[in-house]
Amino acid sequence: MKHNEFVYMTPMPVRIWHWLNAFGILTLCVTGLQIRFPDYINIFGAYKAAIRLHNTAGVVVSISYILWLLYYLIVAKSLMKLYIPTIEDLKSGIFRQAFFYFLTYFLGKPNPHHSTPDSKFNPMQKAAYLVIMFILLPMVIFSGVLLMYIAPLREVLLILGGIKTLIGTHFLLSCCFTAFLFVHIYLATLGHTPLAHFKPMWNGWEEEEIDDASTEKTVGR
C-alpha cells in the first residue's frame, strides 16, 4: 500500500523571487535577442522599446536577486546548508545523480536523493544552482550595470578590457542562461509525476509517495 504525504518545501519569499526571476530572465533573453540581432528579430516594435524593456527586466532581476540573497542569509539562514555541495557530493553524489538522470531514471529506478526542507537539492542541483546563483547571475548583473552606465563607469570598463570584451561576455552569459533554462525545465519534469516539482514552486508543498511496506519514500529531485 502507498499513501501520500505533504512536506512544506519552498517558502513564499523564495517562490515569489523564483517566478519574478524566471519571468525577468526570459524577458531579458527575448529582448536581448532583438537588441543583438535587430535586422532579424523584431518582437517589441521599436529598437528603443526593446532596450527599455531589457533595462527594466535587468533592474527587476537585480533587485530580486539581492532580496533572495538577504532572505536566505538573514531570515532563513540556510543558504550554505542548501546550496554548498559537501565533499561527499563532489566525490560521488554528483556521479550517482548523473547516472540516475542519464540511465536509471529510464529503467524506472528511484531517485537516489530524497528531498527534505533541510536538504532540498540533489548534488547536481547544488552544483548547478551554486554556479548559476553565485557566479553567472552576479556576473550578468554586473556586466549589465556597466553597460547601462558606460560613461560614468568608463574607468572600470577600461580595466576590464573595454566595451567589446564586455558586450561579448554579457552575450556569452546570456547563452549560458538560455542553455540552463532548457536543462533546468527538463530536469524539473522528472519527479514522480511531470508536475511534482512545479507544484511546490507554486504553493510550497511537495507531495511524497510513501510505500507503507518498505517505508521507502519515492520522492526525489
> Where on the chain is the footprint of ligand HEM (CB under 6 A)?
10, 14, 18, 21-22, 25-26, 120, 125, 129, 132-133, 137, 181, 184-185, 188, 197-198, 201, 221
Least CB distance to ligand HEM at residue 212 (A):
26
Measured from the CB of residue 158, what is the shortest distance to ligand HEM in angstroms? 29
Q: Which amino acid is at 172?
A: L
Closer residue to ligand HEM, CB minimum distance, 4 or 189: 189
Q: How far is the CB of 166 from ligand HEM (least distance, A)?
A: 20
Q: Which is nearer to ligand HEM, 36 or 184 (CB)?
A: 184
**Triad 41, 45, 49: Cα angle to 5°:** 105
Q: What is the DSSP string of 113-180?
A: ---BTTB-S-HHHHHHHHHIIIIIHHHHHHHHHHHHTTTTTHHHHHHTT-HHHHHHHHHHHHHHHHHH
Minimum CB distance to ligand HEM smaller for 153 or for 205: 205
Q: Please report how close the Cβ of residue 6 comes to ligand HEM at its closest, in angstroms.
A: 16
User: Is-contact 112 220, C-beta < 8 A?
Assistant: yes
> Minimum CB separation from ligand HEM for residue 58, in Å?
13
Phi, psi of 44 (to 5 degrees): -110, 25
Q: Tell me whether residue 30 or residue 51 sits nearer to ligand HEM (CB atom).
A: 30
Angstrom distance (rounded) from CA 55 to CA 49: 10
C-alpha atoms less than 13 angstroms from C-alpha of 79 in its C-beta half-sphere: 13
Min CB(146)–ligand HEM separation in Å: 19
Query: Residue 172 or 185: which CB sits closer to ligand HEM?
Result: 185
Name which of 157 and 219 has its Cβ closer to ligand HEM.
Answer: 219
- 149 to each of 65, 114, 146, 155, 216, how far by Cα in Å? 20, 45, 5, 11, 55
